[in-house]
A and B are shown apart, each in its own frame.
Chain A
Amino acid sequence: MDAFFAIVLLLSTLMLFRINKVVDAVVIIALQSCILAIIATMIWLETGIGHVLLAACLTFLIKTLLIPAILFRVSRGEMAKRKIKRVFSSHYSVFIALVLMILGYHVAAYLPLAENHHGQAYLATSISLLLLGTFAMIDHNHPIMQGIGLIVIENAIFLIPLAISYGMPLFIELGIMLDMLVAAAVIATLTLKIYNVFHSINTSRMQNLKG
């Protein structure tokens, strides 16, 4: 089961480099977060540790419902019609992403693994997701897509302690989720402002401050 979820997580992230509309990326993020919530629930079923279930519920509420809802509202309308522009072409992007994925698995092999069996499956996935998220931010010029890259990174970071030690202490998890929510709101606000001022949503136009 772990392997299945890991594959879905990785494939869905790869899709970020194929899609044409921002709205699709928001759906992908919602799907990813939903899978994280399911993984947490399964770990709860297995171990019975209460705070993992709470973390699962919070993930579902904040990352699967609230954050995509905020991003969805912003990327509707005018912006939804435009095609996503990338620094590299779609094919090259996917290729680079694949290379990064292999690199992630390679790096993970060098990390001292805990004896816990979930760790085996997810540590490599997390590190790959981390690299893919970073690449997604570099590759896209759309502010919302850069925000989505950030969420992929955060999801990867959420998965690591979940897999290795059944999650972080709850109040830290709570704080991180709160930060994510605020981050989504700030990204949305700034995106709207950028759109109004620049009449464009291409961050590559924002290259005036140098030196």
Chain B
Amino acid sequence: MEYVLLLFITPLLAIISLSISNHVVYGKIQAVFSVVMFFAAVAMAYTVVSTGAPIVFWDQAVYVDGLSALNVLLISLVGALAAIYSKDYMETEFKEKLITKGQLRFYYLFFYLFIISMFVASVVNNLGLLWVGIELTTLISALLVAFYGKQYALEAAWKYLIMGSVGISFALLGIIFIYISSLSIEGHQIFALQWTELCKVASQLDPHWFKIGFVLVLIGFGTKAGLAPMHFWLPDAHSQAPSPISAVLSGVLLNTALYGLFRVYTIANMTITTGVAEYLIIFGLISVAVTVPFITVQSDLKRMLAYSSVEHMGIITLGIGIGGPIGIYGALLHMFNHSLTKSLLFFSAGVICHHYHTKQMQRITGLLKTMPIIGGIFLLSAFAIAGSPPFSIFMSELMILIAGFKAGYLVVTILFAVLIVLIFAGMMYYIVRMVFGTASTRIEKIKFSPWIAFSLFVPLTFVILCGFHVPNFLNELISAASSVIQQGVVK
């Protein structure tokens, strides 16, 4: 319980510290707070894994099981890396007079509010409050997308706000239908919409209402998670936000929306016995397929990365839909791998775009010559995100493929394999041209900041390490999370 509270108190303290500290030290202070926040999350996840029981308090209002702990850990890890990265990234923008002192404060304020709202969504036991948390993330992050206040940023933010809010209204309607499906059960009003209680009475829920509810939640949270065909806002929002925010948006906000979807999916599997998984498989596969043409004709680096997020959300959804112990474990491992690899890519893309003063891929050439370290990291992480061995994403994609064949989804799995090969080819075409090739003489060599180096090397370690061996703690955490999706409340 202490760790969960610490998890919320640290970002709040970070926000308070903004009002009493000078803008020169903002970056350092925020980085320190974010590291404390990360360790609180580790301690919390460790408690959940070692005791094997969820952390429950405040009359069951807060409920942290393996799935919540995994999501919170990812949010705090990517959040901490983004905060450390922001220190020099935002200071450079400030020195170049791209942003003002007030904007710098605004940035950190909303950064932490954004993190807190994702924490709220992940630790509450109630589907209604889960919705409130996810809607809050939209509202707060829309302002972060609009941060630079330029035309494109405003357009992206507006599209994101409107599509996100409408989509998520459908999720609310779905949750209300789920509530209605529980009305016939005695004493429902006391525990209304509590996830643990819904799990216990899952077989008594009205399947007719629940099914409509589930489909609406799938559309709603699917919009927020960027599943195709509701993904149109995503490439705009993720490419227009400041790079550390792009990393948080792509790396963990999408996961949080999927987290909400999987909570409902768990109950749906118990209430409606057949045909639920197919919805996830179809949406997952469409999301992977839709990105193929967009990645192959892309000219903007950050947009390409954003489309790749649509693809990976599709893969995770597909893995969960295929199911079975391997499929679900693979999907959750993929969630972890994607978060770290994608934030690594956005971080390095941020440095690259700053240095070249453009996001257009054709104008970025000779990365290995102008910035050998960043260029090298960028090349490795691009290989990793495209799913080449020996990196972590290859492992989790392989698991999902194996699970697919085992479960007998032959056509789906073969189609999936073909699509990821196509995406690999499409991405590599651009990446190789950017990394190799002749460097423009106008680009001077780069000074490498230790803050940015740290936020690049930590995820890189995981991206490489998890390709060979999943650390014990992580393995147990993901196993705990996958048993939540398979069985609901762990007995």
A55 interface residue (CB < 8 Å to B) = no
Q: Determine chain B's interface SS by DSSP, over half rule.
A: helix
Interface residues on A, range: 35 or more
Question: Known: A130-B173, A194-B154. Is A137-B166 also a contact (CB below 8 A)?
Answer: yes
A171-185 with Cβ < 8 A to chain B: 171-172, 175-176, 178-179, 182-183
B103 interface residue (CB < 8 Å to A) = no
| In the bound complex, CA of A169 to CA of B173 (Å) | 15
A187-203 with Cβ < 8 A to chain B: 187, 189-190, 193-194, 197-198, 203
On whether the beta carbons of B143 and A189 are closer than 8 Å, the reply is: yes
| In the bound complex, CA of A208 to CA of B194 (Å) | 43
Q: Determine chain A's interface SS by DSSP, over half rule.
A: helix
Question: Which residue of A130, A165, A190 contacts B180 across the interface (Cβ within 8 Å)?
Answer: A165
A112 — nearest CB in chain B belongs to which residue?
Answer: B208
Scoring B residues 187 to 216 as 1 if CB is less than 8 Å from chain A, else 0, what string do you get? Answer: 001001100000000000010110010000
Question: Which residue of A157, A179, A183 contacts B176 across the interface (Cβ within 8 Å)?
Answer: A157
On whether the beta carbons of B152 and A153 are closer than 8 Å, the reply is: no
A126 — nearest CB in chain B belongs to which residue?
Answer: B173
B169 — nearest CB in chain A belongs to which residue?
Answer: A153
- The total of Cβ contacts below 8 Å across the A-B interface reads 113
On whether the beta carbons of B297 and A211 are closer than 8 Å, the reply is: yes
On whether the beta carbons of A150 and B158 are closer than 8 Å, the reply is: no
On whether the beta carbons of B179 and A165 are closer than 8 Å, the reply is: yes
Please give, as numbers and ranges, the residues of chain B lying within 8 Å of A186 by CB-CB distance: 139, 142-143, 161
Scoring B residues 150 to 163 as 1 if CB is less than 8 Å from chain A, else 0, what string do you get? Answer: 11101111110110
On whether the beta carbons of A168 and B154 are closer than 8 Å, the reply is: no
On whether the beta carbons of A134 and B166 are closer than 8 Å, the reply is: yes
Question: Known: A190-B161, A209-B236. Is A171-B129 also a contact (CB below 8 A)?
Answer: yes
| In the bound complex, CA of A150 to CA of B173 (Å) | 13
B17 interface residue (CB < 8 Å to A) = no
On whether the beta carbons of B165 and A190 are closer than 8 Å, the reply is: no
On whether the beta carbons of A164 and B128 are closer than 8 Å, the reply is: no
Question: Known: A208-B152, A211-B294. Is A194-B158 also a contact (CB below 8 A)?
Answer: yes
On whether the beta carbons of A190 and B151 are closer than 8 Å, the reply is: no
A194 — nearest CB in chain B belongs to which residue?
Answer: B154
B126 interface residue (CB < 8 Å to A) = yes
On whether the beta carbons of A168 and B179 are closer than 8 Å, the reply is: yes
